């Protein structure tokens, strides 16, 4: 299925499904329906049952059991949208067969190069088929690799009825990248005891810890006056914004942290003299430290309002929480994934996710949902890439999990 998987993935990433922050409706962008409707047709064509898409762009489908054994219903989940952090319009993927371990010139005109010195993780895929962007967009392996893997695994199981498995449910969600992918996910309708998101990174990953996450909107009101007569009258909102940005810990940012270390991340800064808007995401694995970070943000706003006559407003919203709290009581679901990964000759890797997945929200909605590798690296950027062999391995992992489920004694 290698060539078929490549064709499917390339076809998916060429469809722009970028989501958008600050939009109340779901999906946040109507263009997500373009790919979603294509996937619905594809699921029907390969023989999936109960294929449906709702008005909010959630796709659900069923692979019926082909065994008489009583087996827990499991699910696989991936998201169709791509990140608002970098453009996805006009994605033109490049395929590099038998990658030789050298730097890859993504865009000669723009001088955009994927360098092994900057991204040494490239070297582990030497000899494989690399898929990159042309340097002008993100790739969308996050998470169209996951969508590809789930569809491909379901097709493989349908075409190989000799592989016995229980009932499997799948779901593809919108708006995961803006923290709303699970908002309208109907857990009861999905009907699985647990699920796996296919939204991780390098082959072998199985993750069940992620950030606690919040989104902060800071609006700063200035006062516009003609600069020629501005003394003691003008209040420049951008100056206040700069003061605010520099008042947060400068070493507690994504580019200065790793592992379990949390951060404040300024994701946008728009303004003029009269008004400025700062948008932050706040992240930490530890519940207490997460609460402390939010308190720190609120205190800074309060202190600066005293200094600047209440010109700053803050709206802070929790996005998702660390799924470890819900997964640790049912660790057998992680062990099944580890067994599948080991059976395929890979080393199971367990690291904290420096981000979140739909699974983190779903776990708190009653559907424990650890995260399995999808294969991509350098997400949300023009330097995003994935090895075809990683997508194939993730597809095989889904199949292997399905086999293990049927072979276990659930009495």
- Enzyme catalytic residues: 81, 176
Evaluate whether 6 touches 144 at the Cβ level (below 8 Å).
no
Determine which helix (DSSP H) or strand (DSSP E) holds 302, and give its type and residue range.
helix 287-307
d(CA 142, CA 138): 9
CA distances from 386 to 337, 393, 398 (A): 21, 12, 18
Give the contacts of 316 (CB within 8 A, at least 6 positions apart).
Answer: 214, 215, 216, 217, 282, 294, 297, 298
Distance CA(29)–CA(19), nearest Å, equals 6
Q: If DSSP codes are grouped into helix, strand and coil, which group holds residue 215?
A: strand
- Quickly count: other Cβ atoms within 10 Å of residue 3's Cβ: 8
DSSP assigned state of 166 = -
Render the burial of 139-159: b for 16+ CB within 10 Å, e for the rest: bbbbbbbbbbbbbbbbbbbbe
Burial (Cβ within 10 Å: 0-12, 13-18, ≥19) of residue 164: middle
């Amino acid at each position: 299925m290698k060539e078929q998987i490549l064709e499917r993935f390339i076809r998916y990433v060429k469809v722009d499904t970028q989501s958008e922050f600050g939009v109340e409706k779901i999906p946040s962008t109507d263009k997500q329906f373009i790919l979603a409707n294509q996937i619905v047709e594809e699921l029907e064509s390969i023989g999936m049952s109960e294929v449906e898409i709702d008005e909010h762009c959630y796709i659900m489908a069923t692979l019926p059991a082909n065994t008489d054994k009583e087996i827990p219903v499991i699910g696989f989940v991936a998201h169709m949208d791509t990140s608002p952090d970098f453009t996805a319009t006009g994605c033109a993927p490049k395929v590099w067969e038998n990658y030789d371990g050298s730097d890859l010139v993504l865009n000669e005109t723009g001088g955009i190069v994927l360098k092994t010195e900057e991204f040494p993780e490239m070297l582990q895929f030497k000899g494989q088929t690399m898929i990159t962007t042309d340097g002008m967009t993100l790739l969308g392996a996050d998470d169209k690799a996951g969508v590809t893997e789930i569809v491909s695994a379901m097709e493989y199981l349908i075409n190989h009825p000799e592989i016995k498995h229980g009932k499997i449910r799948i779901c593809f969600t919108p708006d995961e990248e803006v923290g709303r992918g699970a908002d309208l996910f109907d857990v009861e309708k999905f009907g699985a005891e647990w699920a796996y998101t296919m939204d991780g990174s390098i082959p072998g990953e199985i993750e069940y810890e992620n950030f606690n996450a919040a989104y902060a909107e800071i609006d700063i009101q200035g006062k516009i006056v003609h600069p020629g007569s501005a003394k003691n009258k003008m209040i420049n909102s951008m100056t206040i914004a700069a003061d605010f940005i520099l008042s947060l810990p400068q070493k507690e940012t994504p580019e200065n942290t790793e592992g379990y270390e949390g951060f404040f991340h300024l994701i946008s800064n728009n303004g003029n003299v009269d008004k400025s808007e700062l948008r932050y995401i706040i992240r930490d694995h530890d519940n207490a430290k997460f609460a402390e970070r939010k308190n720190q943000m609120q205190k800074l706003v309060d202190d600066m309002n005293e200094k600047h006559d209440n010109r700053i407003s803050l709206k802070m919203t929790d996005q998702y929480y660390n799924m470890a709290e819900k997964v640790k009581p049912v660790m057998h679901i992680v062990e099944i994934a580890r067994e599948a990964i080991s059976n395929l000759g890979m080393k199971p890797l367990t690291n904290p996710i420096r981000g979140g997945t739909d699974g983190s929200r779903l776990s708190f909605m009653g559907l424990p949902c650890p995260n399995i590798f999808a294969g991509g690296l350098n997400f949300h950027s023009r330097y995003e890439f994935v090895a075809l062999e990683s997508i194939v391995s993730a597809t095989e992992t889904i199949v292997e999990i399905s086999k293990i489920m049927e072979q276990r004694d659930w009495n």
